[in-house]
Structure 1
Amino acid sequence: MLQTSPLYSYIPAKDIARARRFYEDMVGLRPKEETNGGVVYEFGGGTAAFLYLTPNAGTSRASQAFWSVQDVDAEIQALKARGVQFEQYVDMPGERSAQGAITAGGAKAAWFRDSEGNIMALVQTLSKG
């Protein structure tokens, strides 16, 4: 049953106003609605994320969520132009693009931290052959 149901993500924030400035001003997201003290952002394919208040924001050492994109390098350029800084994982295997994305295992990816310390990713699935 769950396999056919939409899956939505949560984005934890210690400071909602600060997180909103990051996601709306720097990343360029538009809020769909404010609810339960947080903000809902809609994405492609009918997916969404809920930005919510919690003291646990930024505590995960793994990616919180990722956007499936067509061109990681173009997204990196656009986000850098808005002030987003990307993580540089020097010990991660794979080829690096001029923009800093890593290609390995059939995907090209890049990561950034939001204003709350959460790790977010951009992932481009590469065609096989």
Structure 2
Amino acid sequence: MLGSKNAGATLAVSDLQRARDFYENTIGLEPLQEDLGSILYRSGNSLLLVYPSEYAGTNQATAATWAVGDDLDAIVEDLRIVAVVVSSLIATQP
């Protein structure tokens, strides 16, 4: 189901501007996309999605993201069939 899909880290932050300064000016990442109040970075072959959340640092926020493309609906249905709760889909990319 997801074993052949790329995964990326998803980080909730309390201050998006402060996180932007850190990831761009300290770490040296360049933003690939900014959408829905989040910033997507590439680091080597990996992706890092940074988004603001009141749950940052509490482990009540998203922990991983998969790039599934057109397979999204089928994968969500497969997950629901095996009783995985999919509570929200933050964003999809073309």
Q: Which residue of structure 1 lines up, in the alignment, with residue 87 of structure 2?
A: none
**In 1, distance between residues paired with 2:44 and 2:4?**
17
Which blocks of at least 5 consecutive residues in structure 1 are unaligned?
Answer: 66-129
2:14–2:52: 8 Å Cα contact kept in structure 1? yes
Across the two proteins, how many residue pairs are aligned to each other?
Answer: 61
**In 1, distance between residues paired with 2:19 and 2:43?**
17
Alignment of 1:1-129 (within 5 A): 1-45=1-45, 47-60=46-59
TM-score by length of 1: 0.43
Deviation at 1:6, TM superposition (A): 0.7
Structure of higher CA gyration radius:
1
TM-score by length of 2: 0.57
Q: Tell me, what secondary structure is at the counterpart of 1:8?
A: strand
Deviation at 1:43, TM superposition (A): 2.2
Query: Which structure 1 residue ranges, 4+ long, deviate > 4 Å from structure 2?
Result: none
Identity %: 34
Letter in 2 for 1:4: S
* Larger relative contact order (CA 8 Å, sep ≥ 6): 2
Higher-helix-fraction structure: 2
